[in-house]
Amino acid sequence: MTIDQYRLEQEPTYHPSGDEVAFYESAYAARLPVMLKGPTGCGKTRFVEHMAWHLGKPLITVSCHEDMTASDLVGRFLLGPEGTHWQDGPLTMAVRHGAICYLDEIVEARQDTTVVIHSLTDDRRILPLEKKGELVHAHPDFQLVISYNPGYQSVLKDLKESTKQRFSAVDFTYPVASVEASIVASEADVSPEIANKLVKIAEKSRHLRGQGLEEGASTRMLIHAGRLIKTGMPLVDACKHAIIVPITDDPDMRGALDAVVDACA
């Protein structure tokens, strides 16, 4: 597997909502590690993909989870036909070859796993491979990017301050209504009228955050609903299956969201 396999072939569509593009360009020029903070489904991953394409750099994405170990990131020894050999993990591959490494939803990973990134986020820019006895110096083009949802902060799922303070950061939120409607219309291939209705439903659901909902409907959910509508499914049914059922199991909250959809449909 070569690093060129991680280069994006087509430009990912992205609609800027602030100064995030200019910020990222400056952060990459300075090779600063970057933290993207914002709710699920608001465009953080698409933004990283867009910037990797824009800068012409390979992008290696790791979806973090609670069972992920340090070896899953840096690599391990494997037994093959010719004996034992070392296989680089995704982080090590990015460090060696100068890719952007994106750790998606890093808060899902165990804290004893994420400490391996610390030596890459300061002036040292090194990655110790303790099992191999090797010290990998980061390629000049290497950059580390993580995403983080502050809405899920808890004692068990939060980033250590010692980790947060190693990153430059940008806040993400859902786009303003006109931009979000444009995104939904484009991504789902639906009419502006349908897209505007879906955005209104999302805005009302987001007002219920903290009143029974952990999160309102994300832009990603609206796109899913739009794609169902594109197949011929009625808007009310599409919203039920793409928005309401996924985000809550509470009968009263589902009833409230059903009413929101009926009012906007």
Is residue 145 helix, strand or coil? strand
Distance separating alpha carbons of residues 50 and 6, to the nearest angstrom: 13
Q: Report phi then psi at 112, rounded to 5.
A: -75, -10
What pLDDT was estimated at residue 155? 46
Question: How many other β-carbons are positioned within 10 Å of the β-carbon of residue 145?
Answer: 25
pLDDT tens track, the chain, 265 positions: 689 999 999 999 999 988 999 999 999 999 999 999 998 889 999 999 999 999 999 999 999 998 999 999 999 999 888 889 999 999 999 999 999 999 999 988 887 788 899 999 999 999 999 999 999 999 999 999 999 888 665 545 678 888 899 999 999 999 999 999 999 999 999 999 999 999 999 999 999 988 888 889 999 999 999 999 999 999 999 999 999 999 999 999 999 999 999 999 8
Q: Give the global pTM.
A: 0.90
CA distances from 66 to 30, 72, 146, 246 (A): 31, 12, 16, 21
What pLDDT was estimated at residue 156? 55
Distance separating alpha carbons of residues 3 and 98, to the nearest angstrom: 9
Task: Kindly report each contact of residues 250-256 with a partner whose C-beta sits within 8 Å and lies 24 or more positions away, as own/partner.
Answer: 250/212, 252/212, 253/208, 253/212, 253/213, 256/208, 256/212
Q: Report phi then psi at 25, rounded to 5.
A: -60, -40
